[in-house]
Amino acid sequence: MRRRIYQEGMKMKIGKIALACLCGIFMMATPVCAALTAQLEVVSGKVLKVQAGNVITLDDGKVYFPGKKIADLAGAKAGDVITLKYFVQEETKRIFVEYAPGRDSLPRSPRIEQPVPVPRY
């Protein structure tokens, strides 16, 4: 009887360890999966203002923050019409990764409606 209780106790400990490991793996993989599913959007509009650090407000009333590799906006100023390619971070912050002067001057990315199923072998 004691041996059976000991064995069941060991199974529970192993189960808790396995669960903790799976949780750890899932937490490490979540940012990777989130980065892979970012959808790039394209927007065109008139610049209302350019703030310090190349932060742009367009006539749609939304604020767009530059990505890490955006160095200069080639003299974009209020009143210019530009096109931005951006993604949404933290549900409200729009980060633009590409810029071009003129309306609809960047190609639109294909829209991903649903993830592609992985084949089982």
User: pLDDT of 1-29, one tens digit each?
Assistant: 555 555 555 555 555 565 565 555 655 55
- Say if CB 86 and CB 109 are below 8 A apart: no
- Asked if 61 and 94 touch (Cβ cutoff 8 Å), the reply is no
CB 42 within 8 Å of CB 106: yes
User: The whole model's pTM is what?
Assistant: 0.59
β-bridge partners, 108: none
Q: pLDDT (tens digit, 9 = 90+) per residue, 41-71? A: 899 999 999 888 888 999 999 999 988 876 5
Ordered by start, the domain boundaries in the chain are: 1-37, 41-101
Which superfamily does CATH assign the domain made up of 41-101 to?
Answer: Copper binding periplasmic protein CusF (2.40.50.320)
